[in-house]
Amino acid sequence: MKISDLSESQLLALFLPIIDEHNQRVAQRQQGESPVLTLGPGDDCAVLNLLQGKTVMTIDTQTENQDFRRVWASGYESGGYDVGWKASVQNLGDIAAMGAQPQTLLVSLSLPGDVESDWVKDFARGICDSTLAQGADFCTIAGGDLGRSSEISVTVTAVGSSSGEPVRRDSATPGDVLAVAGSLGAAACGLDLLETPQQQLEELDDYQRFFTGQTRPAGALCYGLVAAQSAHAMMDISDGLLRDAGRIARASGIGINIDSQKLAAFFEPLRPAAACVSAWGGKQESPEQILLRWVATGGEDHAMLAAFAPDRVPTGFTVVGRCGSEFAPEAPVTVDGRVFDRSGWDHFSG
């Protein structure tokens, strides 16, 4: 059944029971403590008893054909589950990057009439499952909005609480090391394979496993919490390591040098996929060039990128660079001491 066959209340009747069940499970897990969400979806607003301390908030939109496709060149179909999953990872990545605990999500879904009603149920399941898979056991879905559009558009607001001072991106200091926790390059690898015609992929063993880096990224929520104690600066990598490292460098007024040798640790799991993409592209890029592109400039992994004093790097973080005192506005980030010419994803250029 298409959603154009349903009234708004019929559509809500598909969506809300999944959300309500999720919220009830969260409340059960909190047994004994007073619940954060005291009034869930259904009124003008949700009502929350947020944890004491600072509140952190972010908002992010995914749009069809910009951030995902319903059907990719590879034949893979991104369903509601994928889109819901990623919406949660994107937003909780921002909460984690402040060193904060996720509290709740608000979800707005704009849909064309030709979307199947199952898509909406899958979306609800995807966002709930992803939240749990990331370890956000106490994160409810407080409310939302449903409307019509000519392309799928999903906006999520995430709210978190921080008992201490949230970790900003403007406080890296010279002498810090720059370290990453989570996947790097997996989302870009998945994107390239999703955009590769299916017949080119058949050489690649179990190729669908690489799609998930793009369609259902793992996120790095737990690492954000681990790093909150010692990180001088932190952000999540949504637009690529070099571009996002540049943001820490600019905000902190420092220079950052990335050691390409250290990035090689992220190459290994992606190597078979890089060989496949290189062959398809007529080898205009070598597999090594592709791996470096994915790992250094690929966005959407939502790994944690943080600056630490060299002796205070937490378990799970891999040191990939170093912060220096010289800030060069035109090239705040270098790779092996040189300017690198591919600098990640810009939503507007080109």
Would you list which residues are annotated within the binding site for ATP? Answer: 144-145, 169, 238
Q: How far is the CB of 233 from its own copies (least distance, A)?
A: 10
Q: How far is the CB of 337 from its own copies (least distance, A)?
A: 25
Stretch that binds its own copies, among 90-98, 123-131, 288-296, 309-317 (CB under 8 A): 90-98
Give the contacts of 186 (CB within 8 A, at least 6 positions apart).
210, 213, 214, 217, 218, 269, 270, 294, 298, 301
**Least Å distance between CB 205 and its own copies?**
35
66 is a contact residue toward its own copies (CB under 8 A): yes
- At 4, list the tokens: 């154009």
Q: How far apart are alpha carbons 32 and 42 in whole angstroms?
A: 25
Distance CA 280, CA 330 (A): 35
Residue 262 in tokens: 């250290």
Identity of the residue, 45 or 268, whose beta carbon is nearer to its own copies in the bound complex:
45
Kindly write out the interface string for residues 34-53 of this chain, putting x where it contacts its own copies by CB under 8 A and - elsewhere: ----xx--xxxxxxxxx---
Q: How far is the CB of 320 from its own copies (least distance, A)?
A: 19
Q: Kindly tell me which of 104 and 257 has the beta carbon lying closer to its own copies.
A: 104
Cα separation of 176 and 232, whole Å?
A: 8
Which of positions 164-183 make contact with its own copies (CB under 8 A)?
A: 166, 168-170
Site for its own copies in 110-169 (CB under 8 A): 110, 142-151, 153, 155, 157-160, 162, 166, 168-169
Output the smallest distance, CB 281 to its own copies, in A: 25
Please state the residue numbers annotated as binding site for substrate: 67, 300, 345
Alpha-carbon distances, residue 319 vs 255, 269, 346 (angstroms) = 16, 18, 26
Restricting to residues 11-30, which ones interact with its own copies according to CB under 8 A? 11
By CB under 8 A, is residue 95 in contact with its own copies? yes
Between 36 and 290, whose beta carbon lies closer to its own copies? Answer: 36
Q: Can you name the residues that pair with 108 across neighbouring β-strands?
A: 145, 155
Q: Using CA of residue 151, residue 294, residue 91, residue 322, what is the dihedral sign?
A: negative
The residues, any chain, with a CB within 8 Å of residue 349's CB and separated by 6 or more, are none
At a CB cut-off of 8 Å and minimum separation 6, what does 58 contact? 91, 94, 95, 157, 158
